[in-house]
Amino acid sequence: MRYSKNVSAFRPSPIRSMMKAVVNPNVISFAGGMPGEELFPVDDIREMVANMPRKAMDTALQYGPTDGLPILVDLLTQEMSKKGFDMEKNRIIVTTGSTQVMNIVSKLLIDQNDIVLTEDPVFCGSAGAFCSYHAQLVGVKMDSEGIIISELEKALEKNPKFIYTTPTFHNPAGLTYSRKRRMEFLEVMAKHPDVMILEDDAYGRLYYDNDTQEDIVPMKTYAKNEQQIIYCSSFSKIFGPGLRIGWMVLPKEMFEVAEIAKQSMDACTPQFSQMLAYEFWKSGRLDRYVEMLRNTYKARRDKMVECIKKYCPEDTTFVTPKGGFFLWARIPDSIDIDKLFDNCSERGVVFVKGIAFSADYKNNQHIRLSFSNTNPETIEKGIKLMGEEMYKLMK
């Protein structure tokens, strides 16, 4: 086959390929970053569909405006404005998952071999999107408070096109930048006004500890040069990823080109999904649902933390995630991570090896454990088994 050069730049998602293998329903999976499916608001969706007037149904099944269903765009504009975004200077585009934001931004900003900075580790889905537009990724290390500023300054010398950051409930690192680190980040970035910032806030509403409130405010709402930032979020973790709806808040100046870029990808985001998202949010169901999710996921997070402390070797280290779906654990150096993965999967427990999230595909001693889609009893069973395998492999 005479494939284009694009194909050689593809970076397949190790999680997607692993998920194909995890078809056995008895497997305890800490691998995928998926919401708890038994929690999906199925009754609400049934009711909303049943009560949808014929006229609305016609709209739902029709093509729609590329930038989004007008009532949803208006609602998001109001909600973002309430959160502190300057909606005089910015506009909303509703996207087909926030994955599409990564693709739109890449299409607009990346030329072959352009440098894109990311945190290291980085969410492999976004990394894959940037690479498919022939970007070269440069990863910047983090500590427990966020990106390391001296490393960022060094990386900026490479003249990157943009930096991709997930400062809140990072996937996979489970970290949240402190307010202080956010200010330092913005201060450094302000010295490089031509380097755009892509701020990904996929998990912002899923916080489990109230002391994070000040930290998790999106940077775009208070950055002096907020026009340097493109912000995105998603309905995937607070409604259902199968509906494929995300959104971006971007400088007005970029709106038209971004809309054209999206046009050639999918013409519009499914109207049906947008109609449901609008009704879900507008009617107050979303807020109630998110509250239930926070309580449920907090219990799962707590259980996983408790079990790792109880069943895994003492020098297994991690920062307790204050929100989101992921716990990023560093396992003892003496454990061969590939063997651990093989032995655990043979016994029916899977996770993702850290290499999947390395900006430059380097091996490391981390594993990503997702607690969102597993109930507390099963979390205990899975972590206990993983702990047994860890002890067996320790030399």
Q: Closer CB to ligand PLP, residue 123 or residue 185? A: 123
Q: Which is nearer to ligand PLP, 316 or 373 (CB)?
A: 373
User: At a CB cut-off of 8 Å and minimum separation 6, what does 307 contact?
Assistant: 379, 380, 383, 384, 387
What's the min distance (Å) between Cβ of 374 and ligand PLP? Answer: 16
**Of the two residues 98 and 343, which places its CB atom closer to ligand PLP in the complex?**
98
Closer to ligand PLP by Cβ: residue 218 or 343: 218
CB of 250 to ligand PLP, least distance (A): 16
How many CA atoms within 13 Å lie on the side-chain side of 200?
26
Cβ-closest position to ligand PLP = 97
Q: Is 217 left (phi over 0), alpha (psi -120 to 50) or beta?
A: beta
CB-based burial, 370-383: b 16+ in 10 Å, e otherwise: bbbbbebebbbbbb
Binding site for ligand PLP (CB under 6 A): 33, 97-99, 123, 125-126, 166, 171, 200, 202, 234, 236, 241, 246
3-class SS string, 178-235: CHHHHHHHHHHHHCCCCCEEEEECCCCCCECCHHHCCCCCCHHHCCCCHHHEEEEEEC
Smallest distance, Å, CB 33 to ligand PLP? 4
Which of 270, 269, 205 lies closest to 238, judged by CA? 205
Q: For the CB of residue 15, give the shortest distance to ligand PLP in the complex, in Å.
A: 9
In the complex, what is the shortest distance from the CB of residue 324 to ligand PLP, in angstroms, rounded to a whole number? 8
Q: Give the nearer residue to ligand PLP in terms of CB position, either 115 or 173.
A: 173
The beta strand positions in the chain, using DSSP E, are 28-29, 90-95, 115-120, 136-143, 146-147, 162-165, 196-200, 229-234, 246-251, 326-330, 349-350, 352-353, 366-370
CB of residue 98 to ligand PLP, shortest distance in Å: 4
Q: Which is nearer to ligand PLP, 324 or 389 (CB)?
A: 324
Closest distance of CB 346 from ligand PLP, Å: 27
Q: In the complex, what is the shortest distance from the CB of residue 283 to ligand PLP, in angstroms, rounded to a whole number?
A: 22
Beta carbon nearer to ligand PLP, 145 or 200 = 200
- CA 165 from centroid of its chain's CA atoms: 10
Euclidean distance between the first and the last CA atom of the chain, given in angstroms as a whole number: 48
Cα 225–Cα 229–Cα 235 angle in degrees, nearest 5: 140
Q: Find the shortest distance in angstroms from Cβ 315 to ligand PLP.
A: 28
Instruction: Provide CB contacts within 8 A for 25, sequence distance 6+.
Output: none
Nearer to ligand PLP among residue 177 and residue 311 (C-beta): 177
Nearer to ligand PLP, 59 or 233 (CB): 233
CA triple 33-35-38, angle to 5 deg: 140
